[in-house]
Structure 1
């Protein structure tokens, strides 16, 4: 069994609607089974994006406007805390940002040395960290809990997939919308098809959808329950990924 490559270049999810000249220049379409396999990494990456949005919204509501994957928002929060000299906020925001950066470093080190089994190993590491965050939440250790989740989100970003030249699976919301705007301009000049342009839009919608679900979940339950959902999802992906790699 082999895991899929985390940086695999796969076709855009909706590359229909090309001009006759583009269609003629393209190689023959792959069989249906191959197209199904190509869609799998895209769905996997969108699930990661949705999970980031889910936890971001839950943490934002629970932990006084702290995010666990959206570091642009945390950077704004940090600037406000500096201006107000709100020391507790400064400590919390800096701790979360530092945890995310540490996660990015850990994830990159793993990606640079693991090779083909990257996805399974990173998902296993995520599961362990979510379990640790769950224990911290049960012990009412709020800041360690949110820092562990931010660490996990930093690690998770190494599992992005390249879809139609666009990175899918990261929680970089501003970048998603900027790329979508660029794609609209290039579509107008017939340099891109709608299928390629829609990749960034779908990635953004996955994040927004995850955030909506996270808001509903934190309103009805609590952050501990949200962590249980996240852990269950990661464990399910750990089961599915080897099966898809056969």
Structure 2
């Protein structure tokens, strides 16, 4: 899955551009968007994905809402065991995430100039729907809505030093960090560049830790309310010039 509008900001003053000997993904804006926003914004999105993943994992029998690699493993085990209820639930969540990535990509392709505010507003509406579904005890529907939201959210990533920040792709974060470590010794990558992957991973782990604590103290509905409030706060706080 790829997002269509990578956004580039510097992590540190000595960040170097990719060289021919160490090609990195393009960070040039696409779709006519010149929007830029703080690095912390993208890390917050990663943390939110980890927060909701942990809460859903604990509450809904090891289902994730953003970590589809984990759900794919879960799906394979369900197929092997022919655990039909689990199979249906995991397929539903994966399908919702894919649908969300499609919706988010369509929004990015057609409304790139105001991508951030449109996506955050859409997320806020979906969080409200998920809260209502949770209150009505429509558990699978609730989790599918959150997975849909996480799929949409991935279009708000930033490409910083060739690293996608703002996505919940944990394996990719660690692999990229390992690649960067190998290339630092050859001066192909700077440490600020390499640390971007590490910070992204730490944001996800930190969010997951908070989610695990929250779901033990609160219910899943309350976790969704926290996510909703965070998205609304981002809508208010992100300066207009960054939208």
Q: CA deviation at 1:198?
A: 0.2
Select the residue among 109, 119, 143 that pairs with 1:112. 109
Select the residue among 179, 188, 191 that pairs with 2:176. 179
Select the residue among 148, 161, 166 that pairs with 1:164. 161
Q: CA deviation at 1:192?
A: 1.1
- For the 8 Å contact 2:120–2:235, the answer to whether it is kept is yes
Partner of 1:24: none
TM-score by length of 2: 0.87
Name the SS of the counterpart of 2:159 in structure 1: strand
The question of 1:76 aligning with 2:73 is answered yes
- For the 8 Å contact 2:15–2:161, the answer to whether it is kept is no
Q: Deviation per CA, 1:99-125, whole angstroms, max 9, x where unpaired? A: 000000000000000021010000000
Q: CA deviation at 1:164?
A: 1.1
Distance in 1 between the 2:187 and 2:63 partners?
41
Structure number with bigger Rg? 1
Partner of 1:212: 209
- Alpha-carbon spacing, 1:79–1:17, altered in 2? closer, same or farther (3 Å): closer
Name the SS of the counterpart of 2:113 in structure 1: coil
The question of 1:148 aligning with 2:145 is answered yes
The question of 1:98 aligning with 2:101 is answered no
Please identify runs of 4+ aligned residues in structure 1 that moved more than 4 A: 15-18
The structure whose residues are more often helix, as a share, is: 1
Equivalent pairs counted in the alignment come to 222
Q: Unpaired runs of 5+ in structure 1?
A: 19-37
Q: CA deviation at 1:243?
A: 4.0
- For the 8 Å contact 1:41–1:161, the answer to whether it is kept is no
Partner of 2:231: 234
Distance in 2 between the 1:120 and 1:166 partners?
23
Q: Deviation per CA, 1:178-222, whole angstroms, max 9, x where unpaired? A: 000000000011111100000000000000000000000000001
Distance in 2 between the 1:17 and 1:139 partners?
50
Partner of 1:32: none
Partner of 1:88: 85
Q: Deviation per CA, 1:22-57, whole angstroms, max 9, x where unpaired? A: xxxxxxxxxxxxxxxx8x521100000000000000
Name the SS of the counterpart of 1:176 in structure 2: helix
- Alpha-carbon spacing, 1:234–1:6, altered in 2? closer, same or farther (3 Å): farther
Name the SS of the counterpart of 2:167 in structure 1: coil
Distance in 1 between the 2:129 and 2:137 partners?
12
- For the 8 Å contact 2:173–2:198, the answer to whether it is kept is yes
The question of 1:52 aligning with 2:49 is answered yes
- For the 8 Å contact 1:15–1:193, the answer to whether it is kept is no
Q: CA deviation at 1:14?
A: 3.7
- For the 8 Å contact 1:6–1:119, the answer to whether it is kept is no
Q: CA deviation at 1:244?
A: 5.1
TM-score by length of 1: 0.86
Name the SS of the counterpart of 1:68 in structure 2: coil
CA RMSD of aligned residues (A): 1.8
